[in-house]
Amino acid sequence: MLGRGELERAVIEVLWAADGPMTAREVADALPGRELAQTTVLTVLGRLEAKHMVSRSRDGRAHSYLATASREEHTADLMRQVLDGAGDRRDALARFVGSVSADDVKALRRALDGR
Residues in touch with other proteins (CB under 8 A):
5, 8-9, 12, 51, 53, 71-72, 74-84, 86-87, 89-102, 104-105, 107-109, 111-112, 115
DSSP per residue, 37-63: -HHHHHHHHHHHHHTTSEEEEEETTEE
Find the shortest distance in angstroms from Cβ 60 to other proteins. 29
- Closest CB to other proteins among 63 and 74? 74
- Closest CB to other proteins among 3 and 60? 3
Phi-psi region of 52 (alpha: psi -120 to 50; beta: other; left: phi over 0): left
Check residue 90 and report its DSSP letter.
T
Find the shortest distance in angstroms from Cβ 52 to other proteins. 10
Contact 67, 16 (CB under 8 A): yes
Find the shortest distance in angstroms from Cβ 72 to other proteins. 8
